[in-house]
Amino acid sequence: MALKSLKIKENIYWVGAIDWEERDFHNFEIVRGATYNAYLIIDDKITLVDTVKHKFFHEMVERIREIIDPSQIDYIVSNHVETDHSGSLADIKRIAKDAVVVCTSRGKSGLCKHFDCKDWEFKVVKTGDELKIGKRTLTFIETPMLHWPDNMVTYVKGDKLLLSNDAFGQHIASVERYDEELGVEEAIKWAKIYYANILMPFGELVKKKLKEIEGVQIGMIAPSHGVIWKNPGRIIEAYKKWADFEAEDKLVVVYDTMYNSTARIARAIAEGASKGVKVRLFHVRRDAWSEIMTEILDAKAIAIGAPTMHNTVFPPVAGFLAYMRSLKPKNKIGVAFGSYGWGGGAVKEINRIFEELKFDVMEPLQIKYRPTEDELRKAFELGVEIAEKIKS
């Protein structure tokens, strides 16, 4: 095996797995793969925090075996039921037969729906509960909806180490295990993509939890995805900004096209706006939706364009609208545009979604069949108007 376990603190080891091949995480296009981080704490009571996706079970066990016999594990902390973290739990329980599973109450019911847990011993914990494992004491903080209702994080006080599960994670397969090795700004970039596609709907809960951990001394954050933060302040500050939807003077134009008409309108709007603000232009079938949502996270305005098909939105744009709607971006200016042949309907449906998201909706632009030079000028002027509104 190429990558061995890694000591991250005295007697605390990374024993996770790198998934170089995965490109889809429940429809979140992960263009550089993923990591499933599990951590092993050697103390009087040997504790494994989280596991890995099931197909990497043997890799995790090999890494544990470099350090101890896995049958000696006393506690398995399950911070989160989702199977990218719990997928190897049942198999490691078959080896560490007497290990007690530590999780939240919702965690227990979720785990028992995924696995046959009738013979498992559980220790159910809630925020503030502590578990002494020897020299160390583990403290648990529930983090519901970050990313499922069952989530919690585990704090190792003496080591000032926060084992944060999904929070502060990044979907990236890399040989680097620390933010400083990957490059802190590069790590922030991947964390932003992760936040935009997983945690964006939960900004208010993120802010509440960040407040709750304000007094906690954190020297290192070890999430269950991606690199470990030796600079926790940097990612905590970024999370505050993202949770607040702090935006820049930027327009994101997203479109699809049947016969190039909507594409030409999109380019004219983008060109008009580019004289005043930053512009990003995306084609919904050519570009990764995960990248589009990352740009939307901190954009002040979004223009979405689609041809009308069967009196409604062209299906690829409808799919993107469903994805965007589920992630609930906030505080945006919304502009719908598109071409149609006879009845129209696409811009009406796009506007309906903008209104549902409580966007500041501007007058849409609908153009019959192919745009004339005059109509393209109108699209350009719409871009100028969007830029002015962004800056006002």
Task: Point out which residues bind ligand FEO (CB under 6 A).
Answer: 80, 82, 84-85, 147-148, 166, 224-225
Q: Which is nearer to ligand FEO, 122 or 148 (CB)?
A: 148
Place of tokens 């050519």: 286
By the 8 A CB rule, do 158 and 255 touch?
A: no
Catalytic, out of 147, 150, 155, 171 = 147
Q: Dump the DSSP string for 113-150.
A: HHS--TT--EEE--TT-EEE-SS-EEEEEE-TTSSSTT
Active site residue 58: no
DSSP-derived 3-state class of residue 200: helix
Find the shortest distance in angstroms from Cβ 94 to ligand FEO: 23
Please classify residue 234 by burial: count the beta carbons closer than 10 Å to its beta carbon, then call 0-12 exposed, 13-18 middle and 19+ buried. middle
For residue 389, the 8-state DSSP code is H
Active site residue 98: no
Give the integer Cα–Cα distance in Å for 82 and 151: 9
Give the residue nearest to ligand FEO (CB).
82
Task: Give the count of alpha carbons within 13 A of 147, CB side only.
Answer: 23
Give the integer Cα–Cα distance in Å for 300 and 250: 6
Q: Which is nearer to ligand FEO, 260 or 326 (CB)?
A: 326
Find the shortest distance in angstroms from Cβ 391 to ligand FEO: 38
Q: Which is nearer to ligand FEO, 50 or 375 (CB)?
A: 50
Active site residue 225: yes
Active site residue 82: yes
Active site residue 194: yes
Token pair, residue 185, equals 């700004």
Q: Which is nearer to ligand FEO, 79 or 339 (CB)?
A: 79
Find the shortest distance in angstroms from Cβ 113 to ligand FEO: 15
Find the shortest distance in angstroms from Cβ 30 to ligand FEO: 11
Find the shortest distance in angstroms from Cβ 224 to ligand FEO: 6
Active site residue 310: no
Find the shortest distance in angstroms from Cβ 258 to ligand FEO: 37
Q: Which is nearer to ligand FEO, 166 or 179 (CB)?
A: 166
What is the arrangement of strands in the sheet containing 47-49, beginning at the earlier edge strand? 6-9, 12-14, 39-41, 47-49, 75-77, 100-103, 122-124
Give the integer Cα–Cα distance in Å for 33 and 55: 14
Active site residue 80: yes
> What does DSSP say about strands 137-142 and 152-156: parallel, antiparallel, or unpaired?
antiparallel
Active site residue 26: yes
Q: Which is nearer to ligand FEO, 47 or 224 (CB)?
A: 224
Catalytic residues: 26, 80, 82, 84, 147, 166, 194, 225
